[in-house]
C-alpha cells in the first residue's frame, strides 16, 4: 500500500539533512527525515565551521550552543623548513563570527539533532531509501525498515542528503563527473606534546609532502598528511601511531610527540559534481551533489549552505505563498558556488601536495604574497569563510541602479536604534524566518503620497511572508522605525541618499534599488510570491 505523505521527505540525517529539516521547521514546514544508519555517526570528520555557516546557525538560533561547544581558531599558519611562511587570519573578516570554529562533525550532528527534536521531529533510524519513481505531481519512494518491511510513500518533494554514495543520485541516473586524486592521505586524531599554538591550523609544507595540524576538543589535534600514490593499491598493514609519528618527525613541528590516538585512517579523495542539483521533484544537496578535497575544510560548510538556500524557498512553495518556479533558483544559485569550491579546493590540494621541486620552490616563494592579497578581487580569508559567495547571476534577484553592493550579495550587518533608543543589529532582524524589506530613507522622506504608494506594493502579502522597516539616517524628525545615527547602515548598503533593499530569509539581497519605485518593487515581489491570484 502507498502512504500519501503530504510533507517533504529528507533522505539522510548528516549535517546537511539535519540543517534542512531544522530550517524547514523554522519556516513552518514539517518534514519526515530518515537515515539508514542505526545511530548518529561518531567520527570527528569535518572539524572546521566557517563564519558564514555560523551566521546560518545564528539565524537558526543554535549558534550559542555551537560557540559553547567548539574551539575558536584565528586562521591558518603555513610553515616551511622550520620557518613560518605566511598566515591567513580571519579576525578581520566582516562577520560577527570572525574565526573558524573547530568542532567534531559528530558534535555538530548532535547539536542539530537536539534542535530538531526540540521542534518535535525525530530522525527515523535504520530506514533506507531503496528506489524512486516520479511524475510531474509526486515522487514515489520505496523505503526499507529494519525488520525488512518495505514501505512505499508518495511525497511532493524528495530531498537527497544521503552523502557521497547517494542512493537518490543513483536512482536519478545522474552522472557524478570528476576524478580521484593520485595522492593518498593519512588522518590521525591524537594528543601532541610540544605542539604549536592552538589559535591556528598549521600547515607544514616540505619536499616529502604536506603535514596539517588542526586543533580540536580542547587538547586534541587532527593530523592530515599526504602519502605517495604508490601506497594506493597495495595491501598495506593497518596504520599505527608509530607510522604517523614517523611522518610527524619528518615533516611536522620539531619535537612533537604523539599519543592517545582515537582515530587513525588512510583515505583517498575525489572531486566530483552532478550536472543538475534538481530533477523535477527531487533535489540533491551536500555530498550527494558535490564532493571535494577536504583541503580548505569546505565540504560540510558548502552542504549546509545548500540546505540554507533551499529551505526557505521550498517552505514558501509548500505553504502556497510562492510559485514553484522559485525552486529553479536552487540549481542556478548553488551550482556555481559548488563549482567554485571544487576549483578552490583542487588548487589548494595540488599546490600543497605537489612533488615537483620547481613547483614547490615557486609555491614557497609566492605564499607569503598571495595569502594576504586579493584573489580576483576577493581576499583569501573571505573566500575560505564563504563570505564572498553571491547570487548576482541568479534570475531571481533584481538590481536597480549602481553601487558596489548589488542584489545577490550577502546583506551586511549594521547597528541601528529603535524608537526606545535601544541598539538593534540588522543581523538580529534578519533572523526572522521571512523576507525583510529595508526602506533606507536617507536624511528624510517627506513625500507621504509616494510612501503610501510604495507600501501598497507589499500590502497584500501576509506578515509571515514579509516585514518592513523604515530606517532614517541621522536624528531628523521624519517618521521611522529605526534610526541609523552614524549613517553606517546607509553606507554599507550604498544607499546614502536612500533606497530599497529586500533581504531574503537566507540573508542575501533579493532586490536592491536606489529609487523608491513602487512598480519595480511590485514586479519583483510578483515573481517571488503568489500575489493577486
Ligand atoms: C576526514 C574528513 C575530514 C573532513 N573535514 C571537513 C572540514 O573540516 N570541513 C568541512 O566543511 N567538511 C569536511 N569534510 C567533509 C564532510 O564530512 C562532508 O562534506 C559532510 O559529511 C557532508 O554531509 P552530508 O550531510 O551531505 O553527507 P553525510 O555526512 O555523508 O550524511 C549522509 C547521511 O545519509 C545517510 N544515508 C546514505 N544513504 C542512505 C539511504 N539510502 N537511505 C537513508 N539514509 C541514507 C547516511 O547514513 C548518512 O547519515 C571532511 C570529510 C572527511 C572524510
Q: Which of 298, 263, 276 is nearest to 160 (CA)?
A: 276
pLDDT value, residue 156: 97
Q: Is residue 90 part of a domain?
A: no
Find the range with the poorest average confidence among 65-79, 217-231, 255-269.
217-231
Give the model confidence (pLDDT) of 459-501 as tens digits: 999 999 999 999 999 987 778 899 999 999 999 999 999 999 9
Give 532's pLDDT tier (boundaries 50, 70, 90).
confident
Nearest-angstrom CA–CA distance, 73 and 213: 12
Quick check: is 99 in a domain? no
pLDDT band at residue 352 under the 50/70/90 scheme: low
- What does each C-alpha distance from 37 to 126, 143, 170, 260 come to in angstroms? 5, 13, 19, 28
ipTM higher than threshold 0.90? yes
Over the stretch 355-366, which tens digit does the pLDDT of each residue have? 666 666 665 665
Of 300, 305, 384, the residue with max ligand 1 atoms within 8 A of its CB, to mutate for a pocket test, comes to: 300
Question: 27 pLDDT exceeds 80?
Answer: yes
Check whether residue 511 and residue 499 sit in a common domain: yes
Domain identity same for 13 and 129: yes
At 115-161, the pLDDT tens digits run: 999 999 999 999 999 999 999 999 999 999 999 999 999 999 999 99
- Rounded-to-integer distance, Cα 228 and Cα 181, Å: 11
With CA atoms as reference, report the closest residue to 401 among 516, 515, 270: 515
Task: Measure 29 CA to ligand 1 centroid, in angstroms.
Answer: 24
How close is the Cα of 157 to the center of ligand 1, in Å? 21
State the closest ligand 1 atom to the C-alpha of 187, by its place in the atom list counted from 1.
1
Asked if residue 7 and residue 122 are part of one domain, the reply reads yes
Instruction: Quote the pLDDT of residue 373.
Output: 44
Please report whether residue 78 resides in a domain: no
Residue 288: inside a domain, yes or no? yes
Residues 266 and 435: their CA atoms lie apart, in Å, by 46
- The more confident residue out of 452 and 148 is 148
pLDDT score at 487: 96
pLDDT in tens, 411-446: 999 999 998 999 999 999 999 999 999 999 998 776
Is position 312 within any domain? Answer: yes
Q: What is the CATH number of the domain that holds 200?
A: 3.30.70.2450
Contact status, residue 158 vs residue 283, Cβ threshold 8 Å = yes
Q: CA–CA separation, 219 vs 213, rounded Å? A: 12
Specify the length of the chain in residues.
Answer: 533
How confident is the model at residue 103, as a pLDDT? 98
As a whole number, mean pLDDT of residues 94-118 equals 97
Domain that holds residue 110: 2-47+104-176+274-354
Is the C-alpha dihedral spanning 29, 33, 39, 43 positive or negative? negative
Q: Are 300 and 105 in contact (CB under 8 A)?
A: yes
The whole-number pLDDT of residue 264 equals 96
pLDDT (0 to 100) of residue 232:
59
What gap in Å lies between CA 77 and CA 381, rounded to an integer? 12
Question: Does 215 lie in the same domain as 172?
Answer: no
Taking the C-alpha atoms of residue 173 and residue 276, their distance in angstroms, rounded to an integer, is 11
Question: Do 279 and 327 sit in the same domain of this protein?
Answer: yes
Number of domains in the chain: 3
424 and 514, same domain (yes or no) = yes
105-138 burial: b if 16+ Cβ within 10 Å, else e: bebbbbbbbebbeeeebebeeebbbeebebeeeb
Predicted pLDDT of residue 36 = 98
Which of 200, 235, 270 is at the close of a domain?
270
- Lowest-confidence region among 107-121, 229-243, 345-359: 345-359
Residue-level pLDDT at 374: 43
In the DSSP assignment, the letter for residue 410 is: B
Q: How would you label 343-352 residue by residue, b for 16+ Cβ within 10 Å and e otherwise?
A: ebbbebbebb
Decide: 304 in ligand 1 pocket, CB within 6 A: no
Between helix 518-528 and helix 448-455 the angle, nearest 10°, is: 10
Cβ–Cβ < 8 Å for 157, 314: yes
* pLDDT, position 381: 76
Distance CA 243, CA 238 (A): 10
Report helix angle 51-60 to 299-318, nearest 10: 30
DSSP 259: E
Q: Say what the pLDDT of residue 139 is.
A: 97
Same domain, 513 and 441: yes
Q: Which residue did the predictor score with more confidence, 451 or 411?
A: 411
Does the beta carbon of 17 sit less than 6 angstroms from any atom of ligand 1?
Answer: yes
What lies within 8 Å, CB to CB, of 370 at 6+ separation is 380
CATH of the domain at 425: 3.40.30.10
Residue with the bigger pLDDT between 372 and 126: it is 126
Domain edge (last residue) among 216, 244, 270:
270
Residues 6+ apart with CB under 8 A from 234: none
Cα torsion angle, 57, 61, 64, 66, sign: negative
In a domain, 57, yes or no: no
C-alpha cell at 446: 517627506
Q: Is the CB of 13 under 6 A from ligand 1?
A: yes
Q: Residue 472: helix, strand or coil by DSSP? A: strand
Supply the pLDDT for residue 477.
77
300 lines ligand 1 (CB under 6 A): yes
My answer on whether 421 and 329 are in the same domain is: no
What is the whole-number distance in angstroms between the Cα of residue 214 and the centre of ligand 1?
A: 19
Percentage of the chain surpassing pLDDT 70? Answer: 92
**Ligand 1 pocket mutation pick from 163, 180, 239 by most atoms within 8 angstroms of CB:** 163
- Of 160, 163, 154, 162, residue with least CA distance to 134: 154
In angstroms, what is the span from residue 288 Cα to ligand 1's centroid? Answer: 9
CA of 15 to the centre of ligand 1 (A): 7
Kindly state if the Cβ of 498 falls inside 6 Å of ligand 1: no
For the chain, the average pLDDT equals 91
So what's the pLDDT on residue 377? 40
Concatenating the DSSP letter of every residue in 296-335 gives TS-HHHHHHHHHHHHHHHHHHHHTTSS-GGGGHHHHHHHH
Which residue's CA is minimally distant from atom 52 of ligand 1? 45
Query: Same structural domain for residues 520 and 463?
Result: yes
Identify the CA nearest to 155 among candidates 311, 13, 4, 320: 4
Q: Between these two residues, 184 and 425, which has the higher pLDDT value?
A: 425
Residue nearest to atom 44 of ligand 1 (CA): 35
CA distances from 325 to 332, 465, 502 (A): 12, 17, 19
Task: Looking at the structure, tell me whether residues 286 and 344 fall in a common domain.
Answer: yes
Would you tell me how many other CB atoms lie within 10 Å of the CB of residue 48? 25
- The residue-averaged pLDDT of 171-178 equals 96
Reply yes or no on whether the pLDDT at 372 is more than 80. Answer: no
Going by alpha carbons, the residue nearest to atom 53 of ligand 1 is 45
Say what percent of the chain tops pLDDT 90: 75
Domain co-membership, 325 together with 220: no
Do 441 and 499 fall into the same domain?
A: yes
249 within domain boundaries:
yes
Out of 292-306, 322-336, 376-390, 468-482, least confident range: 376-390
For residue 118, the domain's CATH number is 3.50.50.60
Q: What is the DSSP string of 402-442?
A: --SS-TTSBPPP-EEE-TTS-EEEHHHHHTSSSEEEEEE-T
Instruction: Kindly list the distances between the CA atom of residue 227 and the CA atoms of 3, 251, 257, 358, in Å, as whole numbers in the listed order.
Output: 50, 12, 20, 19
Task: Report if residue 70 sits inside a domain.
Answer: no
Domain boundary at 228, 250, 270, which? 270
pLDDT at 218: 92
pLDDT number for residue 106? 97
Question: How far away, in angstroms, is 136 Cα from ligand 1 center?
Answer: 30
Amino acid at each position: 500500500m502507498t502512504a500519501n505523505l503530504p510533507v517533504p521527505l529528507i533522505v539522510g540525517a548528516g549535517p546537511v539533512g539535519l540543517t534542512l529539516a531544522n530550517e524547514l521547521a523554522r519556516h513552518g514546514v514539517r518534514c519526515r527525515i530518515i537515515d539508514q544508519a542505526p545511530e548518529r555517526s561518531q567520527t570527528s570528520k569535518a572539524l572546521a565551521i566557517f563564519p558564514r555557516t555560523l551566521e546560518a546557525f545564528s539565524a537558526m538560533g543554535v549558534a550559542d550552543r555551537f560557540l559553547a561547544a567548539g574551539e575558536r581558531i584565528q586562521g591558518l599558519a603555513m610553515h616551511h623548513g622550520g620557518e613560518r611562511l605566511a598566515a591567513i587570519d580571519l579576525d578581520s573578516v566582516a562577520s560577527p563570527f570572525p574565526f573558524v570554529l573547530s568542532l567534531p562533525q559528530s558534535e555538530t550532528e548532535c547539536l542539530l539533532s537536539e534542535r530538531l527534536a526540540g521542534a518535535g521531529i525525530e530522525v527515523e533510524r535504520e530506514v533506507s531509501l531503496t528506489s524512486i519513481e516520479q511524475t510531474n505531481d509526486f515522487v514515489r519512494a520505496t523505503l526499507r525498515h529494519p525488520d525488512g518491511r518495505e514501505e512505499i510513500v508518495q511525497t511532493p518533494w524528495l530531498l537527497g542528503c544521503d552523502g557521497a554514495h547517494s542512493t537518490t543520485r543513483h536512482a536519478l541516473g545522474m552522472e557524478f563527473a570528476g576524478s580521484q586524486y593520485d595522492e593518498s592521505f593519512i588522518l590521525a586524531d591524537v594528543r601532541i606534546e610540544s605542539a604549536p599554538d592552538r589559535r591556528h591550523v598549521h600547515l607544514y609544507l616540505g619536499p616529502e609532502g604536506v603535514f596539517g595540524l588542526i586543533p580540536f576538543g580542547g587538547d586534541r589535534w587532527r593530523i592530515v598528511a599526504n602519502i605517495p600514490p604508490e601506497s594506493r593499491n597495495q595491501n598495506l598493514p593497518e596504520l599505527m601511531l608509530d607510522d604517523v609519528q614517523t611522518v610527524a618527525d619528518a615533516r611536522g613541528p620539531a619535537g612533537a610527540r604523539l599519543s592517545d590516538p582515537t582515530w587513525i585512517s588512510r583515505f583517498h579523495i575525489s572531486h566530483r559534481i552532478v550536472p543538475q542539483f534538481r530533477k523535477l521533484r527531487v533535489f540533491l544537496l551536500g555530498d550527494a551533489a558535490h564532493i571535494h578535497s577536504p583541503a580548505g575544510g569546505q565540504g560540510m560548510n558548502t552542504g549546509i549552505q545548500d540546505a540554507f538556500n533551499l529551505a526557505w524557498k521550498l517552505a514558501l512553495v509548500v505553504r502556497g505563498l510562492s510559485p514553484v518556479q522559485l525552486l529553479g533558483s536552487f540549481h542556478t544559485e548553488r551550482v556555481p558556488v559548488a563549482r567554485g569550491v571544487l576549483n578552490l579546493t583542487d588548487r589548494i590540494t595540488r599546490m600543497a601536495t605537489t612533488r615537483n621541486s620547481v613547483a614547490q620552490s615557486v609555491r614557497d616563494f609566492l605564499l607569503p604574497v598571495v595569502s594576504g592579497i586579493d584573489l580576483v578581487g576577493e581576499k583569501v580569508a573571505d573566500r575560505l569563510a564563504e563570505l564572498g559567495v553571491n547570487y548576482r547571476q541568479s534570475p531571481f534577484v533584481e538590481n536597480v541602479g549602481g553601487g558596489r553592493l548589488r542584489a545577490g550579495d550577502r546583506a551586511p550587518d549594521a547597528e541601528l536604534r529603535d524608537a526606545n533608543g535601544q541598539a538593534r543589529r540588522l543581523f538580529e532582524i534578519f533572523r526572522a524566518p521571512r523576507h525583510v524589506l529595508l526602506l533606507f530613507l536617507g536624511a528624510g522622506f517627506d513625500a507621504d503620497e509616494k510612501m503610501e504608494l510604495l507600501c501598497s506594493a507589499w500590502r497584500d502579502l501576509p506578515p509571515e511572508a514579509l516585514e518592513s522597516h523604515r530606517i532614517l539616517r541621522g536624528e531628523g524628525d521624519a517618521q521611522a522605525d529605526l534610526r541609523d545615527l552614524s549613517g553606517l547602515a546607509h553606507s554599507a548598503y550604498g544607499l546614502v541618499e536612500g533606497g530599497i533593499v529586500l533581504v531574503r530569509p537566507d540573508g542575501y539581497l533579493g532586490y536592491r534599488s536606489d529609487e523608491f519605485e513602487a512598480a519595480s518593487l511590485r514586479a519583483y515581489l510578483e515573481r517571488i510570491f503568489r500575489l493577486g491570484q
